[in-house]
Chain A
Amino acid sequence: MGNGIIGKPIPRPSRDAKVQAYLPSVVAGIGVTVKHFFKNTKELAFGQRNDPVLEAFDDGVTTISYPEQKRPYPERFRGVHRLTLREDGNPRCVACLCCSTACPAQCIHIVAGEYADADKKGWEKYPVSFVIDELRCIFCGYCVEACPCDAIRMDTGQHAVPYDSRDQFIYERETLMSFSDPSGRQLTENPKDDPARGHTPDRLKH
């Protein structure tokens, strides 16, 4: 209790003749500004400026010119949702409503339907409509945790872009299916939970 604030000691500027005479210090100060200006101008003009992420601690301009330049998000960043696809292009989602149940913001709305043709395993459901309201979403990632089929992921690496009107934030099924992960894959790396392969997920086996 009561150690006080421990700060970095900064030496008082000396008040020797050179400092008190003002003009020598003015000349030195102009030298500093001129040097900075010409060095940075040269590096901007010649395209030699710092990489804002890799050389952020070096001298010189390290501004990130957003949105042309973006600091990449960490790999586990929860971005805009995507619906992963099966190899035949249908969504992996089986409309089990786990995600919409888990969702604390209640921003997912699913209308379930059944595949009509026998090839698609007539007993299997699919989302007729799958809507996420990105304005209500709090990006908690519970839907991804809840999904038994790895059908919904938040690994797009993008955040919702600002739009002009609210209805543009309502992402429909087709929109969600069009997104991919940063490497451009629309499938998922996790084949075992693919319902189309006839696997029963391990955790559902008794």
Chain B
Amino acid sequence: MVKFIAEYQVLIFALVKILIMLGFFLNLAPVLVFVERRQAALIQDRVGPNRAVVKVPGFLLKGALATPALLAGVAVAALCFKFFPANPPETGVGRGFWMAELATLVLWSHALVLAGYVRVSGDAANPLEAALRDMRDPRWIFYTGGFLHLALGVLYGASSPANEAEVSKAFALGGPAALAGVLLLVAAYLGYRIPSGTVELRAAGLLHSIADALKFAFKEDFVPPKADKLLHSLGPLISLFPALVTYAIIPFGDALCFGTTNGALDVTKLAETASTVGACAEGQQAVSLQIADLNIGVLYLFAMGGTGIIGAALAGWSSDNKWSLLGGLRAASQMVSYEVAMGLSLVGAFMVYGTPRLGEMVRWQAENTWGIFVQPLAFFLFFAAAIAEQKRTPFDAPEGESEIIAGYFVEYSSFKFAMFYTGEYIELVTSSALLVTIFLGGWTMPFLHRDAVHVAFGDTVLLHSQMSHLVATLLGVGIFFGKVLSMSFFQIFLRWTLPRFRYDQIMAFGWKFMLPAVIANIVLTGLLVLGASSAGPSVASGLRLAADATGFIVIGASAFLAVKFARLLLSPVERARFTSSGVAARVGRVGRTPETPMQA
């Protein structure tokens, strides 16, 4: 087995990476369909899709929800006390501190969820739940949690040399124990609280996407009688193709460094700490978390993305339908127009980063600052062009439901329609991933370095905490996928906010505004890059300070949004009752609009 892995490890790594990316992108497509419907409903004050229901036996649900917590608890306990024990305690104090913070977070967030549940449903199963239900203001759970976080931080930071040994020991042993204990407690409580009978699982409407996918698979595949059979079938294939191949060049994490045996990469020798210069230290080999690290980089993306036009145009032409022909024409002209602006908008980024490779672009951003701060104009131009390329609102004239029904895919049914549909959402994810990689720092966050959390402004170090190579890399992967999710979420918000441009407005915007703007951006960037590279060291150190400041801006903005979100979640609701009609008076007498079980 080990020999087999050693022999084919390049292939195995490639397959694993393809599986990760394919899993992420393909699963995100139905999730985004769900998100889009949910947003549409809730923005318009509707309930939205919530009818699809699966009846699950309680024990299955118990297993599905409690097992991960159980496994995580056991894993924490096993890893910290059996395999990587903190001996002497000084080595594990940082780890213990973060685990204690995590345990606190899990504890108060679960308490808050439980309090919310019992306060809504009203049925408390034990005195604890009754206390949660009857407490005056559940916001105190949140405040207490925040206080505990702070108290732990103060305890950790203020350990004097006199009591340092005790504090180290307490954190090194107490942290993992607390985290494992809390996770096991959560698992046990889930097992205890989820009802044993049949549970109706609605997953907030997520099942509708799955039902739709199933429905597509079983629908009749109708081809118009006078359509070109071959081209009609090729259309969705060519349309889906670029969406599925472009993610091959998107790096989803930092390179993993492995030691070598006899000059060959050895998977059992994962590096303890990462080198801060270059990809890996001497004598180590890197496995980049990117399916294909092409030297033409982002140009491959434009080459592949360009083929999408053919799919839409073919579909529109071959369907033998005037609406679809109009849609196909619109799609072709729009995508060709915006392809130009999209390509040129990245030239400035090439100049600043000095490379077309996406991985190296992210490394530049990790060392300096996010791309959006050095190329703000290019960010917006690329964003607009990317939306136009995906044919999404406000650039959705090729589909234009109110004018030409569904545009180029009006004559498609069954799974061919699903391919267009899925392709659109995968393109959405791809463009989000590209925006994140080129402009929003990819897998990096400010102050999160390859070896440590290192908060500094100029030469003043504010916080420094070491991390192991594996933790840092996994954190990076999580950050990348999280950023892509948020970006996709934001793009869907755009769809529900902006009305559609008229066709001539789209063309005018593309050729008369976007193109001059991207060319101006290139000239401006060229001048600035030349100026910055020929200026003295004082300018260089000033730029470095500015780069550090952008890190604080990002963290500050994130913290601001997080606090705002928490305030929204915890804000109480006060409403005016309107009981002038007879029906409302009847309802008011009962207390609320009655709920009845479904009939017939």
Q: Which residues of A contact B (CB under 8 A)?
A: 23, 26, 29-30, 32-34, 36-48, 50-65, 67-75, 161-163
Taking a contact as CB atoms closer than 8 A, the residue among B47, B493, B576 that contacts A34 in the complex is B493
Tell me, yes or no, whether B39 is within 8 Å of chain A by CB.
yes
Residue of A29, A51, A58, A64 contacting most chain B CB atoms (<10 Å): A51
Tell me, yes or no, whether B600 is within 8 Å of chain A by CB.
yes
Specify the main secondary structure of chain A where it touches its partner: loop
**Complex Cα gap A163–B39 (Å):** 35
> How many cross-chain pairs have Cβ atoms below 8 Å apart between A and B?
118
Inter-subunit contact B43/A50 (CB<8 Å): no
Against A, the Cβ 8 Å flags (1 = close, 0 = not) of B560-584 are 0000010011000101111100111
Q: Which residue of A lies closest to B600 (CB)?
A: A161
Q: Which residue of B lies closest to A57 (CB)?
A: B578
Smallest CB separation, B133 vs chain A (Å): 12
In the complex, what residues of B have CB within 8 A of residue A38's CB?
A: 565, 568
Taking a contact as CB atoms closer than 8 A, the residue among B116, B494, B594 that contacts A70 in the complex is B594
Smallest CB separation, B595 vs chain A (Å): 6
Inter-subunit contact A67/B496 (CB<8 Å): no
**Complex Cα gap A161–B596 (Å):** 14
Inter-subunit contact B596/A33 (CB<8 Å): no
**Complex Cα gap A54–B584 (Å):** 6
Q: Which residue of B lies closest to A77 (CB)?
A: B583
Interface positions of B from 48 to 72, Cβ below 8 Å from A: 50
Inter-subunit contact A75/B586 (CB<8 Å): yes
Tell me, yes or no, whether B226 is within 8 Å of chain A by CB.
no
**Complex Cα gap A53–B588 (Å):** 9
Inter-subunit contact A71/B568 (CB<8 Å): no
Inter-subunit contact B42/A69 (CB<8 Å): no
In the complex, what residues of B have CB within 8 A of residue A70's CB?
A: 593-594, 596
Taking a contact as CB atoms closer than 8 A, the residue among B39, B587, B596, B597 that contacts A54 in the complex is B587
**Complex Cα gap A47–B121 (Å):** 8
The 7 closest A-B CB pairs, nearest first, are A47-B120, A40-B42, A63-B47, A29-B497, A53-B587, A161-B600, A48-B573
Tell me, yes or no, whether B498 is within 8 Å of chain A by CB.
yes
Inter-subunit contact A50/B498 (CB<8 Å): no
In the complex, what residues of B have CB within 8 A of residue A40's CB?
A: 42-43, 45
In the complex, what residues of A have CB within 8 A of residue B597's CB?
A: 68
Inter-subunit contact A41/B42 (CB<8 Å): yes
In the complex, what residues of A have CB within 8 A of residue B595's CB?
A: 68-69
19 new A-B pairs (CB below 8 Å) besides A33-B493, A37-B43, A51-B587? A36-B45, A41-B42, A46-B120, A46-B569, A51-B593, A53-B584, A53-B587, A54-B577, A54-B579, A54-B593, A59-B45, A60-B45, A62-B45, A68-B595, A70-B594, A70-B596, A72-B594, A75-B582, A75-B586
